[in-house]
């Protein structure tokens, strides 16, 4: 393989991604993550020749991304709230909008409480909350055993002792009560398939993406079962679809007329989160 500098390698990768109609910024992301460098370190190495083994490994990851595979799955990890989380096709890729949900939960002033994360996936929400609030007692559930295994790996790696259980919604914690229930549930309407990113549809777990009743099914299920899980003045936090604010608010206001139901927008000005305080 011909000698090439890191600068040349990066420029060629950007051109390859453009030709494949992919985001060319991924080229730098793959290079930084593959070398475990910050951007300033990349600049320092710009004019240095790239070892053949590094070129080959980079070429392989780039080809997978050009074919449509998400870069986070190719690398096997993704950033979330300042930490790196192991991810596989058994889990959704953690996203910035969910970081905003975590930040909202962290505004709860109680120093000690019990919290349940439903549909934990990679464990991004549960592990982050436990890492940020070590005195909180955190439990996380998922219907997917494969996802729970990924979440357990992340909890160990990030030294966040979370209790993990496997099962649908509240079934694995029957009889227990929590001060907070948080969830990033499936909420995409299958009618939105035509406008979704192809890589999301092809690679991310379908059962973590789509929900019946135009994406509202899980919110109706939560509304029906929360009284058996939350403590007297407990709170429910969840991520929602950007078009679902009014519908989700109506679901919870009908179920809990005395509760305070708040819809919050994300940094892009879209309805993205709900909090129900009993």
CB atoms inside a 10 Å sphere around CB 149: 15
Instruction: Please give the structure tokens belonging to residue 231.
Output: 């403590």
144 assigned ligand-binding residue: no
- What is the β-pairing status of strands 137-142 and 163-166? parallel
142 assigned ligand-binding residue: yes
Instruction: Please give the structure tokens belonging to residue 272.
Output: 């993205």
114 assigned ligand-binding residue: no
234 assigned ligand-binding residue: no
Burial of residue 145, with CB atoms counted within 10 A of its CB: 0-12 exposed, 13-18 middle, 19 or more buried: exposed
Q: Cα separation of 76 and 83, whole Å?
A: 14
- What is the β-pairing status of strands 230-239 and 178-183? parallel
121 assigned ligand-binding residue: yes
Phi, psi of 205 (to 5 degrees): -65, 125
Q: At what angle do helices 124-132 and 145-157 cross, to 10 degrees?
A: 30
Please, where are the H alpha helices in the chain? 6-19, 26-35, 39-45, 52-66, 71-75, 96-105, 124-132, 145-157, 198-203, 212-215, 217-225, 245-255
Q: Cα separation of 188 and 242, whole Å?
A: 10
34 assigned ligand-binding residue: no
122 assigned ligand-binding residue: yes
Q: Cβ neighbours of residue 59 under 8 Å, at least 6 residues apart?
A: none
187 assigned ligand-binding residue: yes
Does an H or E element contain 235, and which?
strand 230-239
The SS3 assignment for 53 reads: helix
- Residues belonging to the binding site are 119-123, 142, 184-187
- Residues belonging to the binding site for S-adenosyl-L-methionine are 119-123, 142, 184
- Residues belonging to the binding site for substrate are 184-187
């Amino acid at each position: 393989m011909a000698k090439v500098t890191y600068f040349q390698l990066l420029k060629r990768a950007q051109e390859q991604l453009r030709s494949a109609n992919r985001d060319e910024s991924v080229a730098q992301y793959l290079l930084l993550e593959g070398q475990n460098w910050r951007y300033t370190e990349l600049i320092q190495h710009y004019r240095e020749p790239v070892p053949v083994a590094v070129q080959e490994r980079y070429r392989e990851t780039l080809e997978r991304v050009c074919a449509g595979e998400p870069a986070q799955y190719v690398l096997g990890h993704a950033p979330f709230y300042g930490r790196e989380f192991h991810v596989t096709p058994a889990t959704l890729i953690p996203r910035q909008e969910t970081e905003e949900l975590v930040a909202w939960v962290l505004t709860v002033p109680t120093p000690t409480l019990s919290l349940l994360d439903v549909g934990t996936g990679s464990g991004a929400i549960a592990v982050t909350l436990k890492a940020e609030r070590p005195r909180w007692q955190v439990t996380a559930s998922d219907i997917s055993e494969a996802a729970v295994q990924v979440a357990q790996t992340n909890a160990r790696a990030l030294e966040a002792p979370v209790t993990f259980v496997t099962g649908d919604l509240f079934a694995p914690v029957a009889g227990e009560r929590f001060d907070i229930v948080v969830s990033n549930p499936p909420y995409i309407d299958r009618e939105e398939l035509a406008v979704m990113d192809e890589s999301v549809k092809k690679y991310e777990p379908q059962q973590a993406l789509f929900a019946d009743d135009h994406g509202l099914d899980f919110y109706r299920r939560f509304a029906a079962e929360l009284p058996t899980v939350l403590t007297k003045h407990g709170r429910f936090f969840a991520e929602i679809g950007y078009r679902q604010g009014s519908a989700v608010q109506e679901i919870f206001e009908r179920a809990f007329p005395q509760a305070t139901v708040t819809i919050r927008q994300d940094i892009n000005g879209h309805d993205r989160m709900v909090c129900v305080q009993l």
